[in-house]
Structure 1
Amino acid sequence: MIRKSFYMLWGTQTVSNIADIVYLLSLITLVFTATGSLVTTILIPLFRMLSKIVSGLIAPLVLAKYRLTSILMVSQFGQFVLFSGLIFYLNSTTTPAYLIIFLIVFGMSFLDGWTDPARNALIPRLAYDEGLMRANGFMSISDQIIKCAGWALSGLIVAIIGAIPTMWITAICYLLAMVFTAFIRDPYASPRTEPSVIAVTAEDTLATEVISESPANTTSRWEQLSEGWRVLGRNRRVRMLAIIDNIDTLGGAAWIGAFVLAFVVQVLHQDARWWGFMNASFFVGSIAGGIFVVARVKKLQKNAFPVMLISLLAYVIITIFFAYNTVPLIALILIGLSGLPVQIAGVIRRTLIQQNLTPAETPNVMSAWSVLSNLTFAIAMLLLSWFADTFGMSNMYLLAGLLTLAAIIMGFVSRAIFREDYEGYLQDKKLATSKY
């Protein structure tokens, strides 16, 4: 079942993704055009990543004190104010101080670091049973469509009207995201942390009463900060999913734009146009993967973990063929095919994580997960850059496939964890929830 509020969450995430893409492309274009320095331009995504890591580390304190919907609203409002201030600043000077730009980027990303775990924690509260995987599938489809269309259209808009006018689209998107967020009703919201009343059904009232007994206010700050990490350590299923996810992320970083462009130029001997074709092909495959999940929810739900491993194995096989292929058209087909299993595995993995956490655990665990993923991705970019320079692009993609293969082996060895009596596990989960 999917609650009506999920579609409001879906709307706010879609609009926020549009804002993120337009904001990044317009700002990167502006900085690179003004400085001509790739190093200076790279500082924008670097500041974003560092800020999200710092934000994720302290997010549990915020998540423990405020409603998830309130966190989303404050974050979106803060980003709107900061970004509007940035636009006015850029309009008022011909020689902007890039330190100010980077500090504003840091501040916006810091606020955005709270929205990621808040959104991910809201999804299992607004969708459950078969609806949860379907909801994750919907999110996946919209994310990929926005990414596919967003980068192309944003580039066109920037080229036509300029970077600074394009930035106003981002500001408007933040306002629209706030409107969608205002209509989200969290059935597990605690009245102790927010005095406002949420209208819920009789079924939801029990859940609200259960969660309202959360001892968050009686625990120390250190306990709040470390709670998500402790759950990751003691919950065997979530711990194994985290291991699989992070090993897979080490190899998954091979598909960032810079590496794909280098492969196109060095291995396929094509120009940047083929880079655009490759990105579009991957997004089409990813959209197909999301549609497949939504259409086959019932069958996937029954064998979620094995299907995830099989999907990852299909991705490994495709990646190995891709690594040593030198024909552009075949590479285009292979990268499109890879998007299908990648998306299926990603949606299933996200659903399994959400299913194996209580509503009270989910925000803190998602916060810890976000920090871990960002750190892993940053390390992966550095390692793969060195590996590609040393051993070549083809061998780098082979390494990426082997890393995911290692994740599959880890999952296969630990498959018994996911064979345990699920009804018994649900009973344990219900008891754990009652403590909150």
Structure 2
Amino acid sequence: MIRKSFYMLWGTQTVSNIADIVYTLSLVTLVFTQSGSLLTTIFIPLFRMLSKMISGLVAPLIMSRLRLTSILMGSQLGQFVIFTGLIFYLWLSPEVSYPIIFLAVFGMSFLDGWTDPARNALIPRLAEDEGLMKANGLMSVSDQVVKCSGWALSGVIVAVIGAIPTMWIASVSYFLAMFFTAFIRDPYAAAGVQAADKVSSAASGAGDVARKPSYGEQLSEGWKILATNRRIRTLAIVDNIDTLGGAAWLGAFILAFVVEVLHQDASWWGFMNTVFFIGSIAGGVFIVARVKKLQKNAYLWMLFSLLAYVIITFFFAFNNVPMLALILFAVSGLPVQIAGIIRRTLIQQNLTPAETPSAMSALSVLSNFTFAIAMLLLSWIADRYGMRDMYVVAGVMTTAAVVIGFVYRSAFREESSPAYASEENVAVNKA
């Protein structure tokens, strides 16, 4: 079952993604045009990643005090205010101050760092049973459609009307996202408070007055869940090892492969990004259409999808025919999305409403950190040994994720928990 509020969440995240793409592309264009320095421009994605990691670390404190819908609303309101203020500054100021731009990017990214954990914690509250996997599939499809079309359209708009006028589109999009968020109703809001109170009462001892968890306990709660819940721990290990290899499909690496191995110009890089997004959209549509079949053996479907992705990666590494590389890149999007959506659904299914926000925050921080390490590691391998070897190493990393997932599959042989696990069911899966 999917509640009506999910479609509002779906709408607000779609509009927010549009705003993020438009604001990033327009700001990058403005800074690069004004400064003429790639080093200065690279600070924008750098500050975005750093800020989101810091935000994810403190997110449990926010999520323990505010409703998830309030967090989404506050994040979008803050981004709207900061970005609109930045537009007025750039419009009125005769000279651009890059520290002010970077500070605005840091502030917006800090607020945006709460969005993904809050969204992923809300989805299982608004979609139940088979509807949960379908909801994740729908969310993934819209994400990929926006990414596929958003970058191209934003580039055209910036080229036609300029960077600063384009920024107003992002500002309006943030405002529309707030509008959709206002209609989201969290049915577990009161239940989540009760669950948290019960945990506090248990921690303080029977018959004692409920003790409010300390800041340290709130910050570490999600990490404790990752360490003690067998299923969540297994999925987190598989996810992060896969992330080490998955970073090989970053745009910069693909561009280098196109030039150095395929001996094509940058236009092929654009073609490959486009077909990958099309494959990813197909993966999301496949999930939505085959929910009932996938739900029965979801964990095995995830492992088989990762294995298919590994095979494609090895073929891609040793291929030097441009058209075949294009086909392989398109096909790879399908298993990548299937594995990712199923993994997210399994994580959501094996957490209680009270556990989900803090666990999702911890997973987000861990994923961002792993991705940053992967970029550095794969960059070094590419420079030291070449692009082919880098993709071979990436394939080996994902193979390791499949092997580990297969070894620990016994955790998922137990009786399946419901779409949004109760505290009693999740307790059975803890080590």
TM > 0.5 between the two?
yes
Distance change in 2, residues 1:177/1:413 (3 Å): same
CA distance in 2, matches of 1:150, 1:252: 22
CA distance in 1, matches of 2:412, 2:426: 19
CA distance in 2, matches of 1:111, 1:240: 29
- Contact 1:251 1:404 (8 Å CA) reproduced: yes
Structure 1 portions without partners, runs of 5+: 191-206
Of residues 337, 359, 369, the one that matches 1:375 is 369
Within a 5 Å distance, the mapping from 1:380-395 to structure 2 comes to 380-395=374-389
Matched, 1:180 2:175: no
CA distance in 1, matches of 2:363, 2:42: 25
Q: Where does residue 37 of structure 1 map in the other structure?
A: 37
CA deviation after TM superposition for structure 1 residue 211, in Å: 3.9
Alpha-carbon displacement from aligned partner over 1:280-332 (angstroms, at most 9, x marks no partner): 00000000000000000001000000110000000000011111111111110
Q: Where does residue 272 of structure 1 map in the other structure?
A: 266
CA distance in 2, matches of 1:59, 1:208: 16
Within a 5 Å distance, the mapping from 1:214-233 to structure 2 comes to 218-233=212-227
Q: Where does residue 412 of structure 2 map in the other structure?
A: 418
CA deviation after TM superposition for structure 1 residue 426, in Å: 5.5
CA deviation after TM superposition for structure 1 residue 432, in Å: 5.8
Query: In structure 1, what residue type is equivalent to 2:241?
Result: I
Distance change in 2, residues 1:345/1:103 (3 Å): same
Q: Where does residue 28 of structure 1 map in the other structure?
A: 28
CA deviation after TM superposition for structure 1 residue 154, in Å: 0.4
CA distance in 2, matches of 1:209, 1:364: 13
- Contact 2:248 2:394 (8 Å CA) reproduced: yes
CA distance in 2, matches of 1:306, 1:431: 20
- Contact 1:57 1:371 (8 Å CA) reproduced: yes
CA distance in 1, matches of 2:375, 2:417: 41
What SS is found at the alignment partner of 1:218?
A: coil
Structure 2 portions without partners, runs of 5+: 201-210
Distance change in 2, residues 1:328/1:431 (3 Å): closer
Distance change in 2, residues 1:307/1:39 (3 Å): same
CA distance in 2, matches of 1:184, 1:260: 39
CA distance in 1, matches of 2:199, 2:223: 17
CA distance in 2, matches of 1:385, 1:41: 19
What SS is found at the alignment partner of 1:421?
A: coil
- Contact 1:188 1:211 (8 Å CA) reproduced: no
CA distance in 2, matches of 1:288, 1:429: 37
Of residues 421, 424, 431, the one that matches 1:429 is 424
User: Which segment is superposed worse, 337-346 or 251-260?
Assistant: 251-260
CA deviation after TM superposition for structure 1 residue 431, in Å: 7.9
Within a 5 Å distance, the mapping from 1:310-325 to structure 2 comes to 310-325=304-319
Within a 5 Å distance, the mapping from 1:28-427 to structure 2 comes to 28-190=28-190, 207=191, 210-211=194-195, 213=197, 218-422=212-416
What SS is found at the alignment partner of 2:252?
A: helix
Alpha-carbon displacement from aligned partner over 1:367-389 (angstroms, at most 9, x marks no partner): 00110011001111111111101
Query: In structure 1, what residue type is equivalent to 2:314?
Result: I
Query: In structure 2, what residue type is equivalent to 1:384?
Result: L
Distance change in 2, residues 1:89/1:295 (3 Å): same
CA distance in 2, matches of 1:342, 1:176: 31
Distance change in 2, residues 1:311/1:88 (3 Å): same
CA deviation after TM superposition for structure 1 residue 236, in Å: 0.6
Query: In structure 2, what residue type is equivalent to 1:247?
Result: I
- Contact 2:351 2:426 (8 Å CA) reproduced: no
- Contact 2:196 2:354 (8 Å CA) reproduced: no
CA distance in 1, matches of 2:80, 2:328: 40
CA distance in 2, matches of 1:381, 1:330: 26
What SS is found at the alignment partner of 1:422?
A: coil
TM-score by length of 2: 0.94
Distance change in 2, residues 1:428/1:63 (3 Å): closer
Query: In structure 2, what residue type is equivalent to 1:360?
Result: A
| RMSD of aligned residue pairs (Cα, Å) | 1.7
- Contact 2:350 2:426 (8 Å CA) reproduced: no
What SS is found at the alignment partner of 1:90?
A: helix
What SS is found at the alignment partner of 2:189?
A: coil
Alpha-carbon displacement from aligned partner over 1:329-351 (angstroms, at most 9, x marks no partner): 11100000000000000000000
- Contact 1:358 1:432 (8 Å CA) reproduced: no
Alpha-carbon displacement from aligned partner over 1:157-211 (angstroms, at most 9, x marks no partner): 0000011100001000000000000000000113xxxxxxxxxxxxxxxx46854
CA distance in 2, matches of 1:423, 1:154: 43
Alpha-carbon displacement from aligned partner over 1:213-245 (angstroms, at most 9, x marks no partner): 455671111100100000000001000100000
Q: Where does residue 197 of structure 1 map in the other structure?
A: none
CA distance in 2, matches of 1:212, 1:237: 21
Query: In structure 2, what residue type is equivalent to 1:172?
Result: V
- Contact 2:27 2:163 (8 Å CA) reproduced: yes
CA distance in 2, matches of 1:374, 1:209: 28
TM-score by length of 1: 0.93
CA distance in 2, matches of 1:168, 1:211: 42
CA distance in 2, matches of 1:426, 1:14: 27
User: Which segment is superposed worse, 344-353 or 29-38?
Assistant: 29-38
CA distance in 2, matches of 1:366, 1:358: 12
How many residues align structurally? 417
